Amino acid sequence: MYNNKILSNGIDIVMENIPYVNSISLGIWIKNGSINEDKHNNGISHFIEHLLFKGTKNRTAKEIAESIDNIGGQLNAFTTKEYTCFYAKVLNTYERLAIDLLSDMLKNSLFNEEDILKEKKVIYEEIKMYQDSPEDIAYDLLAKTMFEGTSLELPILGTIDSLESIDREDIIDYFKKNYIPENIVVSIVGNINENETLKLLEAYFGDFNIQDNKNDRIILDQNYVYTKKINGFIKDTEQLNLLIGMEGLSRKNNYVYPLLVFDNIFGGSMSSRLFQRIREDKGLAYSVYSHPSFYEKTGTFTIYVGLNPEKIYEVVELVKEDIEIAKKELITKEELFKSKEQLKGNYLLGLENTSSRMAEIGRSKLLMDKTYHPNEIVKKINEVDMEDIEIVVEKIFNFDKLNTIYVGNLSKEEQVEKKLKEILYS
């Protein structure tokens, strides 16, 4: 199903031909994100993502936008803590144009001084937009609290102070060190002729070979130590945003799929225990959910609740009760069966379009160095049993590694934090 190739310069290619669609989705995946930064250049990965749209030797910023807009396609990018992705979706008749455009952005971006100064202002506004979102503030504060002393604590956007100090020389040097063939995967899915597509990719990407600073790339050896902390940020909001985070699993851990199955049962769906109890039965929150996050060497399991500040103790007590019930009684066989069916359905339905399939195989190749056939994923889900769930529950629900974050309009902070400690750690 998937065709894996390597270009002459070492860039990994993963392709899938779907002859019955009219589109192609192309993604350029770079193994570089805020985890590769420090406090001095924090935000530079996301900054570079923006700058690749600002003009090349062959196209202005407007021409980059128009080249895809004019054919009804999509062009965008995003940066995470561990990787950056540039992607396009177009009719398959415009395959060459999409490949040409993304390769041009990767190889020939100018990083003009004027564009750098203007784009800083744009990102300042993006940072302010996130600062207006209490949920985003809460997640950044959770990362800062749980990953203190490592680069995972750094916000993806950076800070206004860190961005102010970044200049053109910093950007070009960082780009050369991190945007190298060994860190790049190109994924393409849709109505393609794989042999012809490979020739196009070789022609447009095969000469991208920045090796000058390859050996200078800094790989951080980070030590993740989890303790129990309570941290908060007072903000004038109607609702309190509450996060409870604990140590999870790294993405290559053998118990990733058991954790995903358990999460569906605990708080990852509308039929989950947390949702049904806190929202449906008690009416204490509109938004309540849990989710795992997987990184290369660590991971987290997080519970989020948006609630009335006056209900914080009641909600935290209910969350603790559900955790203790899960530890003592685990789950039922019926819950296990339903969760596995739900997980398989969500996964397979998510592969119904070229964009999703492109993202699935590109991200998998970049982060796992392997592309999994859907049948392999389904098999992993089917194999989850009660013993796996028991191991996962014991691993993640450790109150000595439980961190609580609140953001909102909360009075008597010290009194609240003292009470939360009594509820969670006693």
Alpha-carbon span 152 to 222, nearest angstrom: 9
Alpha-carbon span 66 to 303, nearest angstrom: 42
pLDDT at 414: 84
**Does residue 94 sit in the same domain as residue 131?**
yes
Tens-digit pLDDT profile for residues 50-84? 999 999 999 999 999 999 999 999 999 999 999 99
Tell me which residue range forms the domain holding 84. 3-216
**Does residue 264 sit in the same domain as residue 340?**
yes
Which residue, of 216, 237, 268, is where some domain finishes? Answer: 216
Alpha-carbon span 64 to 52, nearest angstrom: 10
**Does residue 172 sit in the same domain as residue 308?**
no
Catalytically active residues are 49
**Does residue 194 sit in the same domain as residue 266?**
no
Asked if residue 224 belongs to a domain, the reply is no
- 10-residue block means of pLDDT along the chain (426 residues)? 93 97 97 96 98 97 97 98 98 98 98 97 96 95 96 97 96 96 97 98 91 55 87 92 97 97 96 96 96 96 96 96 96 97 95 94 96 95 98 95 94 87 90
**Does residue 180 sit in the same domain as residue 326?**
no
Asked if residue 221 belongs to a domain, the reply is no
**Does residue 158 sit in the same domain as residue 206?**
yes
**Does residue 59 sit in the same domain as residue 208?**
yes
What CATH number does the domain containing 265 carry? 3.30.830.10
Which residue, of 195, 216, 237, is where some domain finishes? Answer: 216
Alpha-carbon span 53 to 65, nearest angstrom: 8
pLDDT at 212: 54
List strand residue ranges (DSSP E) for 110-222, in order: 184-190
Of 424, 16, 373, 418, residue with least CA distance to 194: 16
**Does residue 234 sit in the same domain as residue 211?**
no
Under a CB-based contact definition with an 8 Å cutoff, are residues 258 and 280 in contact? no
Under a CB-based contact definition with an 8 Å cutoff, are residues 239 and 390 in contact? no
Asked if residue 291 belongs to a domain, the reply is yes
Asked if residue 293 belongs to a domain, the reply is yes
Under a CB-based contact definition with an 8 Å cutoff, are residues 387 and 333 in contact? no
Which residue, of 192, 216, 240, is where some domain finishes? Answer: 216
Q: β-strand 12-17 against 229-234: which pairing, if any?
A: unpaired
Under a CB-based contact definition with an 8 Å cutoff, are residues 19 and 32 in contact? no
Instruction: Using a cut of 0.85, tell me whether the model's pTM lies above it.
Output: yes
**Does residue 180 sit in the same domain as residue 255?**
no
Report the side by side order of strands in the sheet with 240-247.
229-234, 403-408, 240-247, 299-307, 285-294
Segments in 268-399 forming alpha helices (H): 273-274, 312-329, 333-349, 354-368, 374-382, 386-396
pLDDT at 426: 79
Residues in a beta bridge with 176: none
pLDDT at 410: 85
Alpha-carbon span 359 to 352, nearest angstrom: 12
Residues in a beta bridge with 82: none
pLDDT at 210: 62
Tokens of 223: 């030590």
DSSP string over 37-80: --TTTTTHHHHHHHHTTSBBSS-BHHHHHHHHHTTT-EEEEEE-
How many structural domains comprise the chain? 2
Tens-digit pLDDT profile for residues 8-27? 999 999 999 999 999 999 99
Residues in a beta bridge with 184: 30
Segments in 267-311 forming alpha helices (H): 273-274
